């Protein structure tokens, strides 16, 4: 069994490292704080970073890096491992490697959309010209997407959409909704839903900001009031949207920010080597060393899940079981790491970003709160355990 990268992949990694160091602003580390596997501290979703993120996407697109994992006939490189390398390196530097449009929408369109839609949308996504937000969750339907109420009614050349989405990350800085709507209310569960792309500028759309637990505006609630959506914007087949979402989730769950786990561990190790408590370095405390050693082991484990999932995708396998393991382990590790960091920093860990006394620029304070979101978003931990139990272990659903 060989876990090593090829020389081409190692060379690509060096190229991405050089890109990140050259393109990120000198004060990026001070301004951008990101806790891995959370949804509340993603710099790419913050209004103040929008202009920078838009420009970065265009630069990534110019290099062909936004479509690395796509099939070659659509301008890609057929390499999810390279895509994972890009995400790994960029997340280490707390920089966005792409967007919902490139990481989730593009590869799903390449798999299930019509040829007309592929020709119209994939080149623009690959160039970094578009940004999507995920229109899945509703006030009474979080992980249970079969229970959504947003309706899309057939009306000639259009669908007419009415309903509400919530916890809509980045809707305020994106261009299009990747919307899941009910198109056949009488259909059996998991059928009768359709994915469609909805222009944020369409009449009838209202976007209201929601401040998350970290005090950051990353979420929104979005209302659709008789919004007309051209039928040519439907992704895949009408009434088969749930299955397209399941495919899209395979891509979404691959991007948990593995590099950011390593970055935080590196910073904690540096912190305990230079910080004293009761007259001695924290690094001299056996309990501190043991806790950090445990985190190093668990980060290696989540890295194993990460690279295996990407590798399986390159083999043509749909890794629904493996991606669930990765998502479950990564988001639970996010919480554990936040707890360990808070224990090591003690009361100072509660100091917020902006305080001159806050260790690690207030990152641990943010991470401790943001880590709550990881096990909830993109399918809760309970959902992931259900998938592992039924599809992986062959256990009954009930």
Residues annotated catalytic, as ranges: 252
Angle between helix 320-345 and 363-370 (nearest 10): 140
Q: Which residues contact 181 (CB under 8 A, 6 or more apart)?
A: 135, 148, 150, 151, 152, 159, 161, 163, 193, 194, 196, 241
3-state secondary structure 126-159: HCCCCCEEEECCECCECCCHHHCCCEEEEECCEE
Quote the CA–CA distance of 264 and 367 in Å, as a whole number. Answer: 10
- The DSSP secondary structure of 64-104, one letter per residue, reads TGGGTTS-GGGT--S-HHHHHHHHHHHHHTT-----HIIII
Q: Quick one: tokens of 339?
A: 């707890």
- Rg over CA atoms, the chain: 21
Cβ proximity of 66 and 232 under 8 Å? no
Q: Return the ∠ at Cα 342 (arms to 276 and 43), rounded to 5°.
A: 115
Q: Quick one: tokens of 58?
A: 């265009």
Q: In this structure, what DSSP letter does residue 115 have?
A: H
Q: In this structure, what DSSP letter does residue 332 have?
A: H
Q: Which residues contact 317 (CB under 8 A, 6 or more apart)?
A: none
Strand bridging mode 280-281 / 132-135:
unpaired
Tokens 């305080």 found at? 355
Quote the CA–CA distance of 227 and 138 in Å, as a whole number. Answer: 17
Quote the CA–CA distance of 127 and 276 in Å, as a whole number. Answer: 49
């Amino acid at each position: 069994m060989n876990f090593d990268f090829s020389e081409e992949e190692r060379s690509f990694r060096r190229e991405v490292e050089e890109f990140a160091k050259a393109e990120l602003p000198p004060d990026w580390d001070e301004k951008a704080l990101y806790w891995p596997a959370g949804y509340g501290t993603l710099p790419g979703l913050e209004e103040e970073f929008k202009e920078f993120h838009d420009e970065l996407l265009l630069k990534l697109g110019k290099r062909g890096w936004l479509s690395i994992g796509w099939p070659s006939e659509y301008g890609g490189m057929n390499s999810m491992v390279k895509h994972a390398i890009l995400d790994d390196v960029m997340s280490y530097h707390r920089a966005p490697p792409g967007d919902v449009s490139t990481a989730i929408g593009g590869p799903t369109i390449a798999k299930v959309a019509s040829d007309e839609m592929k020709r119209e949308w994939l080149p623009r996504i690959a160039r970094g010209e578009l940004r999507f937000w995920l229109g899945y969750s509703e006030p009474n339907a979080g992980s249970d997407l079969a229970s959504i109420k947003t309706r899309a009614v057939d009306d000639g050349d259009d669908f007419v959409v009415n309903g509400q989405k919530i916890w809509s990350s980045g809707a305020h800085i994106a261009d299009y909704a990747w919307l899941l709507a009910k198109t056949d209310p009488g259909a059996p569960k998991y059928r009768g839903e359709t994915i469609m792309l909805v222009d944020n500028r369409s009449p009838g759309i209202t976007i209201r900001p929601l401040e998350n637990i970290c005090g950051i505006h990353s979420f929104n609630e979005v209302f659709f009031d008789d919004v007309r959506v051209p039928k040519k914007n439907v992704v895949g087949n009408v009434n088969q949207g749930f299955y397209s979402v399941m495919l899209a989730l395979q891509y979404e769950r691959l991007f948990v920010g593995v590099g950011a786990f390593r970055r935080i561990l590196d910073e904690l190790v540096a912190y305990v080597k230079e910080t004293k408590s009761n007259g001695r370095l924290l690094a001299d405390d056996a309990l501190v060393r043991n806790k950090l050693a445990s985190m190093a082991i668990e980060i290696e484990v989540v890295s194993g899940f990460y690279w295996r999932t990407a590798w399986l995708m390159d083999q043509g396998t749909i890794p629904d079981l493996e991606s669930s393991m990765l998502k479950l382990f990564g988001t639970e590790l996010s919480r554990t790491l936040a707890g360990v960091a808070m224990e090591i920093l003690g009361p100072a860990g509660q100091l917020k970003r902006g305080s001159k006394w806050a260790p690690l620029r207030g990152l641990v304070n943010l991470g401790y709160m943001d880590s709550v979101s990881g096990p909830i978003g993109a399918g809760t931990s309970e959902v992931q355990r259900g998938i592992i139990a039924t599809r992986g272990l062959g256990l009954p659903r009930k």
